[in-house]
């Protein structure tokens, strides 16, 4: 049984990733983890709701079974409990310092919650984890945003996933729920790079291109171990 578990589902990449996972016939179930449920139903979608910071304390089996009227998730729960499921984790969880309200709160969301989610998946037996970081991520960077992303990457490496894939997109294009003036200006100025296909690693990339690349790499059994996937690589992958 192959299961995808994701956090950050309501975000720009998260929604595209959820769509890709649900459409793929390779996944038997898709489990979305977050503070609230999405207004979406699908035969293989299960939504677990709660405080991510305390995810290790969740009674996940009870939460899953509580959504089944006729015990249809019993096989899934048993597969997870007995370590017989093939679990792939996906995290596109993230925010901005402005939206978070402070650097401390930003660190809690972009680092602590990601690590808590990944650690929980390791305890369930997951061997594959896919994390959306950012171009320029560097734990030693003088830029706080890049520093946090780099620290998160480092701490994910220490968890011991057999397959750890770090995605570093450039400026993201897509339909955001909130307006970000700086990103809007940058996307307009840089859009010609997309039209003329210049500077692959620096030109903006669409949300669906990142999501498609993540699923494609997860299903590629030959791509083992640790990898950082650049924005240019994702654009090439999503074009195939």
Please give the Cα distance from 149 to 136 (Å, whole number): 9
Once rounded to an integer, what is the mean pLDDT over residues 21-27? Answer: 96
Averaged pLDDT of the chain? 88
CA separation (Å) from 186 to 65, 91, 204? 46, 25, 9
Domain 2-238 has CATH 3.40.50.2300: no
239 DSSP 8-state letter: T
Once rounded to an integer, what is the mean pLDDT over residues 188-198? Answer: 49
SS3 sequence of 142-199: CCHHHHHHHHHHHHHHCCCCCEEEEEECCCEECCCCCCCHHHHHHHHHHHHHHHCCCC
Which range of 34-43, 72-81, 145-154, 193-202 scores highest in mean pLDDT? It is 145-154
pLDDT for position 197 = 54
Domain ranges of the chain: 2-238
Please state the pTM of the whole predicted model.
0.88
Mapped onto helix, strand or coil, the DSSP state of residue 40 is coil
């Amino acid at each position: 049984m192959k299961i995808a578990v994701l956090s950050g589902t309501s975000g720009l990449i998260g929604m595209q990733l959820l769509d890709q996972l649900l459409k793929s016939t390779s996944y038997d179930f898709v489990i979305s983890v977050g503070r609230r449920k999405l207004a979406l139903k699908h035969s293989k979608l299960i939504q677990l709701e709660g405080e991510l910071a305390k995810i290790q304390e969740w009674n996940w089996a009870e939460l899953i079974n509580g959504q089944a009227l006729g015990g249809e998730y019993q096989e899934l729960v048993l597969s997870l409990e007995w370590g017989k499921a093939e679990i792939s984790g996906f995290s596109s969880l993230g925010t901005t310092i402005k939206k978070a309200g402070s650097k401390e709160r930003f660190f809690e969301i972009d680092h602590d919650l990601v690590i808590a989610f990944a650690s929980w998946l390791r305890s369930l037996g997951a061997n594959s984890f896919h994390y959306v970081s950012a171009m320029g991520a560097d734990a030693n960077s003088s830029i706080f945003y890049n520093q946090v992303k780099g620290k998160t990457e480092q701490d994910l490496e220490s968890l011991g996933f057999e397959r750890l894939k770090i995605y570093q997109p450039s400026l993201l294009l897509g339909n955001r729920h909130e307006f970000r003036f700086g990103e809007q200006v940058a996307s307009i100025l840089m859009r010609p790079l997309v039209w003329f296909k210049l500077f692959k690693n620096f030109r903006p990339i669409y949300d669906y291109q990142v999501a498609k690349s993540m699923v494609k790499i997860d299903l590629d059994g030959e791509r083992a171990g640790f990898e950082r996937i650049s924005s240019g690589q994702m654009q090439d992958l999503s074009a195939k």
